[in-house]
Structure 1
Amino acid sequence: MKETNDNFIMLPTVDFCFKELMMNPKVRTGFIAALLDLPPSEVQETEVLPTELPRGSEDEKLGILDVFVKMMDGTQINLEMQVQFFAFWDSRILFYLSKMFSGQLHRGESYDRLRKCIHVSILDFNRFDDSECYHIVRFYDGKTKELYSDLLELQFLELKKLPPEAQSEKGIIRWMRFLHGKTRKEFEEMAGTDEYMEEAYQTLIHLSADEKKRLEYEVREKALRDYNSQMKSAKQEGKTEGKAIAIKVIQLKLQGKAPQEIADICNLPIEEVQEISQALSPLPEYEP
């Protein structure tokens, strides 16, 4: 039998672990209550629904593990733990939120059946430039700043922006610190703050002691690590290739080639040649 490390504990920043935590009704209630700034007693029964990824999407390739929750009043919440920035991130989450909202109605049904939809991005990277770790995005009038509708909402929890030490934190900030925990001791200390976090800690202990769940966790952790490594490698290769193309464009420009001729030689759109030229310092005209 495989020897286990008694100090091992799963980390919620691995989406497999986060999803397993949210399968616990009490943990889910405590977390959602914090997101909605409500007492847990006001969060009625929640239901976890199956999720479906668009075929051929980057999410499908990685196998994104999100948690889709429906509340008794019809409110739908999509929870997603993400440790790596995706290309077109903003467009992606708006697409998911729109799909969640429009998916509530079937042919012939009235618009008054539409209920609030919230997409929650729990990020282990920084999305915004400011120092705030928690953002709520809604539809507001651009001039009067008046709320237009609260039926669509985005929430961003930026874990890396949490201050180094807890500062009498409450609600969602306290949950963010728990989700960002790294050691058994940290989780144990936070577990004493309320019964819902205690339940989350006990769930982590049971998950970590389950050999089958631990294997699934380690496989998922490796898949995420490999994917992130591949993305970084591809990005670096793209930079190298981009530099080579830019150098070739410069050389052809110095030879007096016209932009369209350069585009044909380099097999590039004319717009890209123009962008490269504009990004460079002014070059002297070629004189034979």
Structure 2
Amino acid sequence: MYLPDIASVEILNPNIEAVELTGKYIILDVLARDGEGNCYNVEVQVRRYGAWHKRGLFYLTRTLGGQLSAGEDYEELRASVGLHLLDFDLFTETVAEREQAVWRFEMRDERQPKISLGNVLQMNLIELNKADRLGLPEGPLRAWITFFKHWQEELTMANVAHEPVKRAMSRIRELSADEETRRLAFVRERALRDEVSFLNDARREGEAHLLSKLAKMKFGELPEWAQQRLEQANSNQLDKWSDKILTANSLEELFKH
């Protein structure tokens, strides 16, 4: 695996305010350049949302298009490489997709994928959870994935020998000693947990509302006891009732268990 020598690194959003830590989709952007001038746009994403891939491609192409000034030769154009570290599983439809965690997309012909326009524009995706589960061959990439997924586990990290990862762990320990850094980390973690709870509640309420409408259409106005059962049910119970709504002959049968 080729590892370029990085010549410069720029944090594109260095001043994330404390109030922003409660936002839904904080994404850390890093722009790096190697000694040959190739650009690497690194993004760490903790939550999936609908247009994430379009956003990534948009900024990647801007990185490519912004390299040349007026009058410069296209031969001076260097590669623009996107690297997205995803803390969620993205490709899960087939067995082959579930068994691959590292992806590389380039400009290739549809019928003859061996024919490429080069790697001047390249998007790399690493599904961190999947990569951690599958286990990658020993090397720098596996060491970094272990770092991202297990940096809080001292025994696990003690077995990582890759020097850059060891330096990153040392830096994290320094930051962890800073009271303000710990406070902001706590605020962000609490916000993420609150959001997950809010989304689960919204999903449950939506299921209960839909099931209530279906029950009314089939059995008429719901008595108070049935409405209370719907309001107090958890997601698993609502799923079971949804499966029975078409076959149940009465409210008592529907809500029997």
TM over 0.5: yes
Indicate the residue corresponding to 1:101 in structure 2. 64
Contact 1:79/1:121, CA 8 A, preserved across alignment = yes
CA distance in 2, matches of 1:233, 1:91: 29
Q: Which residue of 1 aligns with 2:254?
A: none
The answer to whether structure 1 residue 161 and structure 2 residue 130 are counterparts is yes
1:48 aligns with 2:10: yes
What secondary structure does 1:91 align onto?
A: helix
Distance (whole Å) between structure 1 residues aligned to residue 66 and residue 205 of structure 2? 39
Counterpart position of 1:219: 187
Where in structure 2 are there 5+ consecutive unaligned residues? 15-22, 218-257
- Residue 184 (1) aligns with residue 154 (2): yes
CA RMSD after TM alignment: 3.3
SS at match of 1:85: coil
TM-score of the aligned structures, taking structure 1 as reference length? 0.59
Amino acid paired to 1:160: N
The superposition leaves residues 77-135 of structure 1 with CA deviations (integer Å, 9 ceiling, x where unpaired) of: 12122121111232222222122222323455443332211111111111112111111
TM-score between both structures, scaled by the size of structure 2 = 0.65
Q: Is 1:196 matched with 2:164?
A: yes
Give secondary structure in 1 for the equivalent of 2:165. Answer: helix
The alpha-carbon distance between structure 1 residues 132 and 103, as it changes in their structure 2 partners (threshold 3 A), is same
In 2 relative to 1, CA 183–68 (structure 1 residues): closer, same or farther, beyond 3 Å? same
Q: Distance in 1 between matches of 2:142 and 2:136?
A: 10
Relative to structure 2, which stretch is displaced further, 214-223 or 106-115? Answer: 106-115
Measured in 1, the distance between the counterparts of 2:180 and 2:149 equals: 24
Higher relative contact order (CA 8 A, sep 6+): 1
8 Å contact kept, 2:39–2:81: yes
State the distance in 2 between where 1:234 and 1:111 align: 52
Rounded Cα–Cα distance in structure 2 between residues aligned with 1:109 and 1:227: 48
Instruction: State the secondary structure of the residue aligned to 1:205.
Output: helix
CA distance 1:199–1:87, shift in 2 (3 Å): same
Alignment match of 1:144 (pick from 76, 100, 112): 112
Deviations for 1:178-214, whole angstroms, at most 9, x for unmatched residues?
2111422222222xx2222221221122121222221
What percent of counterpart residues are identical?
28
Aligned length: 202
